[in-house]
Amino acid sequence: MLRLRATSLQCNPHLSVINDAGQLSNDAGMILPIEFTNRIHLKNLIRNTIFFNDERKFAKISFVYLFEFTLMLRIAGYCTDSAANTWRQDPAIRIALGEYGVASQASISRFIASLTQDNLVETQNLLLKLADVVLKDPSRTEMILDIDSTHSDTFGHQEHATYNGHYSANGYHPLLVFDDATGLLLGAQLRPGNVYTSSDADTFIAPILDHLKALRPDMNITVRGDSGFAKPEFYAACAKRSVKFIVRLKKNNRINELTTTATQATEMTTDFQSEDHELDYQVKTWADNYRVIVHSESKAESFLWDDHTLLVRKLQEQVSHPMARHREMNCYL
């Protein structure tokens, strides 16, 4: 079995990491996130990005530290503030945390209660600044952003928690954006459970794209989303910033007719078949002309087109085979 060489930590030189089967901590793995945040100078990033309204007198622990400490608790999987009491009994965690050690449950609760709406917006900015550490790599020239919503169940009487018919549950319906290549979270917006998938998606994605464009003007950015984001406002937010997008489009009678016309000339065989066609389809509410592409597939021995996938994308992108570059970038939805 491979053995990890003892490695001293920058966050505390008196602490080393080694896999010698000893057990000094129930959360030994958390030593590495603590070391990572120390190396990227997370406290300085927080201090320069999030401006807390700290009205305490004679406070010994700063809100910057409490923010980082609360983050570590969540990374460790602890969902309640009282979990801090567990770390008070953990010698390795106490040493790794350094000067302030483990914050009390009461301090964490007061800190969370003091957060403002502006702090939430500033936390979004912090996410982007953290991502800059990776995304500023000049060797990378392509970026695919995945935008989607998810559901977070709630129990009891939670603020703004509402019923979502699609998930058949009470909760929140947050909006998220990830970088496909690295998995980095670039943005998150907490919303009531009853809002539509793409509600406010255009205003949500806009500052993220602005930040990425300012960081890497040379980066080719593509945003992809499912049919819930098939809205002209979302298209316009991407197009305005010269960002390509690929969004699945819902079917309707007119699209079905155009798809049938585009594929009816094909001679069906017993083998698997697939075809790509660009449809002459535009909607009056669209602020610009966009490409609408249909990808049709027929299973072996089917003799019928079994599935049609519709995508809307930015028209200005010239490609000889509409789906070719799409597949190369692994953007097929």
Mean pLDDT of 201-210: 96
The least confident of 187-191, 196-200, 282-286 is 282-286
pLDDT digits (tens, 9 = 90+) for 156-174: 888 889 999 988 999 999 9
Residues 6+ apart with CB under 8 A from 197: 148, 149, 173, 226, 228, 229
Q: How many domains, the chain?
A: 3
Domain with 281, as residue range(s), is: 249-333
Choose one of 209, 234, 259: the last residue of a domain: 234
Q: Please indicate whether residue 132 or residue 19 has the higher confidence score (pLDDT).
A: 132
Q: Are 121 and 207 in contact (CB under 8 A)?
A: no
168 part of a folded domain: yes
pTM to 2 decimal places: 0.83
Exposure string of 210-245, with b = 16+ CB inside 10 Å and e = fewer, is ebbeeebeebebbbbbbbbbbbbebbebbbeeebbb
Distance CA 132, CA 186 (A): 10
- The dihedral built from the CA positions of residue 249, 253, 254 and 258, taken in this order, carries a sign that is positive
Q: Check whether residue 211 and residue 255 sit in a common domain.
A: no
149 part of a folded domain: yes
Q: Check whether residue 324 and residue 271 sit in a common domain.
A: yes
Structure tokens at 301: 């021995």
The listed range with the strongest mean pLDDT (100-109, 122-131, 262-271) is 122-131
Q: Check whether residue 46 and residue 96 sit in a common domain.
A: yes
pLDDT digits (tens, 9 = 90+) for 85-96: 888 888 888 878
161 part of a folded domain: yes
Q: Check whether residue 99 and residue 19 sit in a common domain.
A: yes
Choose one of 234, 263, 292: the last residue of a domain: 234
Looking at the predicted structure, is the pLDDT value of residue 325 above 80?
no
126 part of a folded domain: no
What amino acid is encoded at 212 in this protein? L
The predicted structure's pLDDT at residue 29? 80
Looking at the predicted structure, is the pLDDT value of residue 46 above 90?
yes
56 part of a folded domain: yes
Choose one of 234, 266, 297: the last residue of a domain: 234
Residues 6+ apart with CB under 8 A from 113: none
31 part of a folded domain: yes
The predicted structure's pLDDT at residue 268? 65
239 part of a folded domain: no
Question: Is residue 280 classed exposed, middle or buried when 0-12, 13-18 and 19+ CB atoms within 10 A define those classes?
Answer: exposed
Q: Check whether residue 21 and residue 97 sit in a common domain.
A: yes
Distance of CA 179 to the CA centre of its chain: 7
Q: Check whether residue 207 and residue 299 sit in a common domain.
A: no
Q: Check whether residue 229 and residue 160 sit in a common domain.
A: yes
Q: Please, which pLDDT band fits residue 2 given cuts at 50, 70 and 90?
A: low
Q: Check whether residue 224 and residue 260 sit in a common domain.
A: no
Q: Check whether residue 170 and residue 99 sit in a common domain.
A: no
Looking at the predicted structure, is the pLDDT value of residue 146 above 50?
yes
Mean pLDDT of 264-271: 70
The predicted structure's pLDDT at residue 330? 44
Average pLDDT, the chain: 84
